[in-house]
Every structure is written in structure tokens, then in C-alpha cells.
């Protein structure tokens, strides 16, 4: 699979599989002309924090990188669950990065203009509870200026914040970009509106997708807070009651909507916590299709796709994407997978 090694919203491709198993390869620009009047597209409007903070462990002067990974209290920028990485930078794959020297509660870190204290060691050598000292305002300013987006080994040029905010990014509460949203722009949303396809958003605090540690990665995603506005829940429930489809932009939207759905499929508005994993055994109650990046078997997001299509279908899709030169990862091409009416159906290309 070709790895997308730079941001950019230029010519991209879209591999879609509809509910009957029919597969189509098209330019992603055609996204604006998919779906039907009465359908609803839901995206994650979380902006992404520049959650990579470089600095030193004060007692030894040893270089350290902190990656903010989850909120302790959503929106409080002074306390985080964080990953600690030792010397090295993003040119080394996270999996190959050295662990930092063992940390102890009370250890102080100098992170540019910020000072941080290790509050607790969590149940893994890389995972800590971290407090950033200062007022909310000064800490937020420190993160805004000193923090850098989490970089990827497969993207050689340093990423800036404008590379990792979607067009509709709003409040900065995500730790990695809800990257399926890179496929959308305001022109596409406007075309949908003219065609009778509604667009709305929810906010999900998308967490890190990889910790660099296989054992820790198995626990991903962490429990992730989300918030569904009243209008979004009402729109979803109305669309469903009228027989329209709900298309989720990205795995975070699936997690939030399915988590907020009652047994009757009614989506509740307000704040919630997306827990656990969605996979082959999940019966989707709300979402009819997912727009996502190109994921390979074994990747963290792949398991969730099994709620939409069986493993055989997904593997065939991946193989087809590879043959057609699709680009994977955050800035790559897209897949649209409708929930399969008959999961034993074979995939064929038209």
C-alpha cells in the first residue's frame, strides 16, 4: 500500500462499497454527488491539540517527549493522561522509540514555556497522569505556542496545525485529527445541501491511534468523551424515522452515535463516554455507512469496519485498494462502506 506522505486535499480517490456489495472506484470529488435527498452526513467537529510537547526531565536533563493522550476532565488544559517517549523524534517510528528513563510521581518536566509534574504513574511504563502548572489561560497559551502536532514517521515535512484541522474544526479537544474529515470541504457540504442531503456535526475527543507499544495499543481506543448537540441528535432521529441514511465521517462519529443510542435506536443528546470497541459482533443501531481512510487488516480502525462488512469483504476491498494504487494513512484516499445487507455477498468491481 502506498503511504500518503503529505497533507493536501488535491486529487484523491474514493473506493466505495454499497449495501449490495457493489464496489466502485472514483475520484473523491464525486463524494458531493453521492447519497440521496433525505440522507444525513455527520462529522466530528473536534479541532486537534498540538499534543506533542518536547522538553527535558528536570532532575537529569534527559530529553523527553510528552504526547497528550486523553483528558482527565474535558476542556481542562492543566491535567492530561499522557505518553512519555525518550530521545528521538518523529523520523523514528513510535514503535521503535526508546522508552524514557523511569519516571516517578513528583518528577518535574520543562516543556518549553511550560512546567509539568508527573502526578501518577499509570499501569504502563509510558503512561502517566500529568499536571501542567499555571492558570488555564497560561497553559493553553503554552500548549498553543510550544506544542506541535503529533508527527508521523511517514510524513517527512513537519506538520503544522493547519495541516491537521479539518475545514469544519471547532473546539480543540482531539489528540489526533479525526482524519476522515479531511475528505470534506465547504463546497462539498454546499452541494449536498442543494441536493437535499443534510450535514451536521458532533464533538468527539479523538484519542491517539498508536502508542508505540503493542500491549498498550491493544487497549486503544481509550474511553473517549463526546458531546452530541441537541440539534444533531434531533436530526439523526428525524432522518432515521423517515427512512433516510446516516453516513458517519470517521470511526469517532460511529463510536459517539452508537454509544448515544438507546436500545430503540434513538440517539440521546448531551455529553457521554464512548467505551469499548465496536467490531464484527456489534449490531449498528444508527449508522448506515462510514466514510473513512484506507485501513489495512491489523490497524486499530480496521476492527470497527467489521461492524459494516465481514472480514472477507474488507480484505478484498483492501487488496483492491492496493491494486488500484490507493494511499493509506491520515492524508490518504478514502473508503465509503455501507452496512452490508448480506455479509456473505462477494465483492465485485463495476
Partner 1 sequence: METRIDLEGLRVAVTGGTSGLGLALVRRLAAGGARVAFVARSPETVARIARETGTHGIVGDVSSKGDIYPIALQITGHLGGLDVLINNASSLGPMSLAPLSDTECEDFSQALAVNVIGGFRLTKALFGALAVSARNQGSALVINISSDAAVNAYPGWGAYGVSKAALRHMTAIWAEEARADGVRFLSIDPGDMDTALHARAIPDADPQTLKRPEDAAAEIVGTMHHALSRSRKLPVAVRP
CA gyration radius, the chain: 20
Q: Of the candidates 195, 303, 188, which has an alpha carbon nearest to the alpha carbon of residue 249?
A: 188
Q: How many CA atoms lie within 13 A of 136 on its CB side?
A: 5
Length of the chain: 350
How far is it, in rounded angstroms, from Cα 16 to Cα 33?
13
- Least distance from C-beta 290 to partner 1, angstroms? 21
C-beta of 62 vs 171, nearer to partner 1: 171
- Phi and psi dihedrals of 64, rounded to 5? -150, 145
State the minimum distance, in angstroms, from the CB of residue 113 to partner 1. Answer: 12
The number of beta carbons lying within 10 Å of the beta carbon of residue 236 is 27
Bridge partners, residue 43, by sequence = 201, 249
Is the Cβ of residue 271 or residue 341 nearer to partner 1 in the bound state?
Answer: 271
Name the nearest CA neighbour of 318 among 15, 27, 24, 31.
15
Shorter beta-carbon distance to partner 1: residue 5 or 185: 185
Residues at the contact surface with partner 1, assessed by CB under 8 A? 45, 47, 49-50, 75, 77, 136-137, 140-141, 143-145, 160-162, 165-172, 186, 189-190, 193, 200-201, 229-232
Using alpha carbons, list the distances in angstroms from residue 262 to 230, 257, 259, 284, 311: 15, 10, 8, 11, 27
Q: Which residues pair with 116 in a beta bridge?
A: 109, 132
Least gap, CB of 78 to partner 1 (angstroms): 12
Closest separation between CB of residue 51 and partner 1, Å?
Answer: 11
- Choice between 47 and 291, CB closer to partner 1: 47
Nearer to partner 1, 137 or 215 (CB): 137
For the CB of residue 144, give the shortest distance to partner 1 in the complex, in Å: 4
Q: Which long-range contacts (CB under 8 A, 24 or more apart) does 267-270 make?
A: 267/228, 267/233, 267/236, 267/237, 268/228, 268/233, 269/228, 269/229, 269/230, 269/232, 269/233, 269/234, 270/227, 270/228, 270/230
- Compare residues 104 and 187 and give the one whose CB is closer to partner 1: 187
Minimum Å gap between C-beta 147 and partner 1 is 9
Report the nearest approach of partner 1 to the CB of residue 45 (Å).
Answer: 6
Pick between residue 75 and residue 276 the one whose CB is nearest to partner 1: 75
Question: Of 160 and 324, which CB lies nearer to partner 1 in the complex structure?
Answer: 160
Closest approach, Cβ 300 to partner 1, in A, equals 25
Amino acid at each position: 500500500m502506498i503511504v500518503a506522505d503529505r497533507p493536501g486535499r488535491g486529487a484523491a480517490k474514493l473506493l466505495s462499497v454499497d449495501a449490495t456489495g457493489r464496489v466502485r472506484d472514483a475520484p473523491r470529488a464525486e463524494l458531493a454527488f453521492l447519497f440521496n435527498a433525505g440522507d444525513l452526513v455527520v462529522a466530528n467537529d473536534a479541532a486537534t491539540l498540538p499534543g506533542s510537547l518536547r522538553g527535558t526531565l528536570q532532575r537529569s536533563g534527559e530529553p523527553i517527549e510528552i504526547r497528550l493522550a486523553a483528558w482527565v476532565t474535558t476542556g481542562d488544559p492543566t491535567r492530561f493522561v499522557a505518553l512519555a517517549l525518550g530521545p528521538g523524534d518523529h523520523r523514528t517510528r513510535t514503535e521503535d522509540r526508546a522508552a524514557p528513563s523511569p519516571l516517578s510521581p513528583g518528577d518535574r518536566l520543562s516543556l518549553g514555556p511550560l512546567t509539568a509534574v508527573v502526578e501518577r504513574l499509570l499501569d504502563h511504563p509510558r503512561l502517566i497522569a500529568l499536571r501542567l502548572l499555571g492558570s488555564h489561560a497560561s497553559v493553553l497559551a503554552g500548549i498553543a505556542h510550544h506544542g506541535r502536532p503529533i508527527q508521523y514517521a511517514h510524513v517527512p515535512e513537519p506538520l503544522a496545525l493547519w495541516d491537521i484541522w479539518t475545514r469544519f474544526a471547532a473546539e480543540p479537544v482531539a489528540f489526533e485529527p479525526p482524519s476522515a474529515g479531511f475528505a470534506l470541504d465547504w463546497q462539498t457540504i454546499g452541494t449536498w445541501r442543494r441536493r437535499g442531503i443534510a450535514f451536521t456535526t458532533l464533538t468527539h475527543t479523538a484519542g491517539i491511534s498508536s502508542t508505540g507499544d503493542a500491549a498498550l495499543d491493544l487497549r486503544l481506543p481509550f474511553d473517549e468523551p463526546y458531546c452530541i448537540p441537541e440539534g444533531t441528535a434531533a436530526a439523526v432521529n428525524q432522518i432515521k424515522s423517515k427512512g433516510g441514511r446516516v453516513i458517519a465521517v470517521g470511526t469517532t462519529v460511529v463510536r459517539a452515535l452508537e454509544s448515544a443510542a438507546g436500545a430503540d435506536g434513538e440517539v440521546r443528546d448531551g455529553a457521554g463516554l464512548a467505551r469499548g470497541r465496536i467490531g464484527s459482533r456489534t449490531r449498528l443501531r444508527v449508522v448506515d455507512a462510514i466514510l473513512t481512510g484506507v485501513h489495512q487488516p491489523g490497524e486499530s480502525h480496521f476492527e470497527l469496519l467489521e461492524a459494516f462488512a465481514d472480514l472477507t469483504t474488507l480484505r478484498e476491498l483492501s487488496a483492491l485498494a492496493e491494486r488500484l494504487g490507493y494511499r493509506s494513512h491520515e492524508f490518504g484516499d478514502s473508503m465509503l462502506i455501507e452496512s452490508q445487507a448480506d455479509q456473505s455477498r462477494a465483492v465485485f468491481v463495476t
